[in-house]
Every structure is written in C-alpha cells, then in structure tokens.
Amino acid sequence: MHRYPSHHPSTSPSILLTPASTLEKQHHSLISAPEWKGQLTVTAFLGREAVLHATEAARDGGLTGWILSDPAAGLGSGGGDQDGGDAGSDGTGTNSPTRRRTLSGCETLRKRALVGRDGTVTEVIAHGIGSVFCPKEARGLGFGSRMMRELGAKLEGWQGKTWESGMEDNKAAAAAGGGGGDGGKAVAFSFLYSDVGSVFYARHGWKPYPSAHIRLSPASSASQSKVKTREEFSVFPIEAPNIPSLCLRDEHLLRKTLASTPGLSVAVLPTADTMAWFHAREDFVASELFGRYPAAKGSIVEVNNKPLAWCIWTRIYYEEYAVLYILRLVVDSEVLDAWGEGDKRRSAREGKITAVELLFREATREAGEWNAKYIEVWNPDDESIEAGKRVQPAVAVEVRETESITSLRWHGPEQDVLWIANEKFGWC
C-alpha cells in the first residue's frame, strides 16, 4: 500500500502546526468534501464552505484554519497526487507552489464565553474545534495525535491572554483598586465534539462531558401537532430578525446562572453570530436542494406579551436524511417566576413544562413540513424530558457514545469544571 509522502515520522521536530493560508483552507474543504458534503455536490459543498467563511462569526480572525505539515515533504503538486489531485483553476487546486502538503488539518472558531467562580462571572475567550480531518493516506501514522497535542497547547494563548496571565492581571488590578484586567480577555478553555468516541481526545486533554439527547418524531399531520395551549400562553415563530434580542436576553440569564452556581462553571455564549452561522449553512443547503429555505428559525412562547420560553433550531442535511436540531432551549426564569407569583394556584414547574411542550410541538410540525427524520434536543433537563413525553410518550433519554461527544479542555489548574448550557449551538 502506498503510504502518505512525508520524510519524517509524526514525532519529528520538523513537522509544524501553523495557521493555514486561504488557499490551504480551500484545499482542506476540497479533500474533506467526499466525507462531509452530505447531499451536496462537491462544487456546492465548496460554495457552502465559502459562505460560512464569510459569516460574521468567521470574519476578522473568528475562524482559523490549521494545517500540520512537513516542510521536508515538499509542496502540494499537480493533478493526480496523493493530496487530492488537481481541482482546476478555481483556486482550490493542488498545483500551486504556495500550498503545503497536508498531514492533518482542522478549524477553530473563536467564541465569547463566561467563567463563573463562586459568584464572580468573567467574560473570556474559548475556541471551538471542528473540521478535524486527516487524508486517508496519512491515517494511522500518528499525525492526528501530533496535531491535537500541538493544537491544545497553541490555543491556550491564541487570540488572547493565557488563563494564568489573565488571572494575574485581574489580581494586580484588584489590588490597585481597579475593576479587572486592563484589556485583552483570557483564553479559558477549548472544546470539541468527538465522532470517534471519548478516548482519543481525552488522551490529548479534552475531557468528555455529558452527551445525552432526546428525539421526537416529526408530525405527519396537523392533528398530531395540535397544541392544547393555556389561554394566557401564545406561540409564535422566530425569524432571523428576532434572534439578536433573544440572544442578549439569554446572555443576561446565563450570567445570573453562573453567578449563583457554586464552584467553577463555564458557558459558551449562544450569540446571534453563532446562530447566523448555523442558519447560513442551513439556508445554503436548503436552497441548493429545494430551491427555497425555511423562514422559521425557531419558536417562542409568550405570556403577558413577554417571552417566556423559546427554542432556536436548525436543520442539518446528511447524506440520506435531515435532522432538526434544537440549537438552544431557554426558559426565562424571571418571567416564569413573575407568572407564578401572579396566581398562587400556578406551579412554576408546570408552567415551564407546558411552555416547552408547546415549543416541541411546533418543532415536530416544522420537522414534518421539511421532511426531517427526527428532532434532537441535547442535554435536556428534567422538565424538558417531561415535556417531550407529553408530546410523544415514547421519548427517552439516549446517551451518545461514539459521535458528537462533547469534550472540554480547561486551561486552569482545576479539574472539576461544570459546563452549563452544553447544547447543540456550541457544535462547529
């Protein structure tokens, strides 16, 4: 069998992990397309990647491509080589003298995040890792492990201060009577979603976290999705212009949650830019496949003209089917408490379950309209599980053991870190 051309083993100091050039990012998309394009053609997949790279979440250094390469192995060559062949003259070909040969590659997305520590909440930087790919000819030679070892170390200070130096700056500022660091956020953690089980990434520092979900079947008719609503609850679709204000409210609630959580906790912020990244992906694929894209990006339940609960969703199209994922599910505790206090006969828990039930019923209807195979909700709480059972009694919690294993690498000395709001919106 012809092995991948590299003059040195994966342990060689000559092998480097560095940010990828624009051309190398394009090439990474090209060689990974056969495995990740789903129902798209290769050309359409490359178009989708170009759209995602142009989103607000990816601009201005938000997205970094990484490439593990061996300078001694030479540059990518022309058509028919082991590194993907010639893609033509569209800028993604292998015949450019400026593109290094890929041993392994990935992408990282810079994320706003929070760290809570015994009542104090600090905004930090986190990095989400995705698109981890090793060309077939390079697999089994240790290049993937080499990349992850180096990436973990590089990300500890990538695009911000190291966690240790950031905390020292905060202590110095506090001692001087200031309110915190004087500029530049600390990089507190990185995270990823493993499709190769939990062992590989854990070995390189990413601790596996709870990775459970519930699934609901799509509604096959209007009668199945009919909602037994409360008189004071109203249900509306969420469209793209509604999302920024909901995300800001979500951030407010998350800050309160972390401030009241004992010990050390972290949360990736579910920002409007993150949701727009998912919806740019969804809209592009739906337009390619169906010539149209869905206007509804989620559903919201209001009480007394105030948002009580909402979910933001997206559809992901795999090779043979689509899944409607609940990216983020929120119940506004302040609105819920006010509603419960307005009538002592009301139960806050029952109100939450009813509101989430209404959202799930809307999701099943939407999934039915767009022929999704199922709806998936990550790491639901007890009330959400009960709400799911009220929609479909057979709903049960499933634990993922081989794919989308949520994993986090904390950059501080502590070992016990609680990950709050560990839901699908973090995936990248």
Task: Catalogue all structural domains in the chain, each as residue range(s) with its CATH number.
Answer: 16-208 (3.40.630.30), 212-400 (3.40.630.30)
* Percentage, residues of the chain above pLDDT 90: 78
- Please tell me what DSSP assigns to residue 100: B
Instruction: Collapse the DSSP code of 329 into the 3-class scheme (helix H, G, I; strand E, B; otherwise coil) and give the result.
Output: strand
- Please tell me what DSSP assigns to residue 176: T
Going by pLDDT thresholds of 50, 70 and 90, the confidence category of residue 165 is: confident
* pTM summary value: 0.90
Question: What pLDDT, on the 0 to 100 scale, is given for residue 79?
Answer: 33
For residue 333, which amino acid is it?
S
CB proximity list for 82: less than 8 A, separation 6 or greater: 2, 4, 5, 135, 137
Q: Which residue has the higher pLDDT, 84 or 176?
A: 176
**Residues constituting the chain:** 428
136-163 tens-digit pLDDT:
989 999 999 999 999 999 999 999 999 9
Question: Over 90: is that where the pLDDT of 97 sits?
Answer: no
Lowest mean pLDDT, pick from 48-52, 113-117, 227-231, 309-313: 227-231
Going by pLDDT thresholds of 50, 70 and 90, the confidence category of residue 9 is: confident
Instruction: Collapse the DSSP code of 163 into the 3-class scheme (helix H, G, I; strand E, B; otherwise coil) and give the result.
Output: helix
Sheet bearing 233-238, strands edge to edge: 233-238, 298-303, 306-317, 322-331, 374-378, 212-216, 398-399
CB proximity list for 324: less than 8 A, separation 6 or greater: 218, 313, 314, 315, 363, 366, 367, 370, 372, 374, 375, 376
Question: What pLDDT, on the 0 to 100 scale, is given for residue 401?
Answer: 94
281-306 tens-digit pLDDT:
999 999 999 999 999 999 999 998 99
Closest CA to 193 of 179, 178, 180, 206: 206
Going by pLDDT thresholds of 50, 70 and 90, the confidence category of residue 193 is: very high
353-364 tens-digit pLDDT:
999 999 999 999
Question: Over 80: is that where the pLDDT of 114 sits?
Answer: yes
Taking the C-alpha atoms of residue 82 and residue 77, their distance in angstroms, rounded to an integer, is: 9
Q: Give the phi and the psi of residue 195 in degrees, each rounded to 5.
A: -105, 15
Question: Over 80: is that where the pLDDT of 73 sits?
Answer: no
* CB 159, CB 110: distance < 8 Å: yes
Lowest mean pLDDT, pick from 67-81, 153-167, 181-195, 346-360: 67-81
**Residue found by looking up tokens 């609630």 in the block:** 253
Taking the C-alpha atoms of residue 101 and residue 18, their distance in angstroms, rounded to an integer, is: 12
Q: What is the mean pLDDT of the chain?
A: 89
* Percentage, residues of the chain above pLDDT 70: 86
Question: What pLDDT, on the 0 to 100 scale, is given for residue 415?
Answer: 82
Question: What pLDDT, on the 0 to 100 scale, is given for residue 13?
Answer: 85
Question: Over 90: is that where the pLDDT of 229 sits?
Answer: no
Question: What pLDDT, on the 0 to 100 scale, is given for residue 94?
Answer: 37
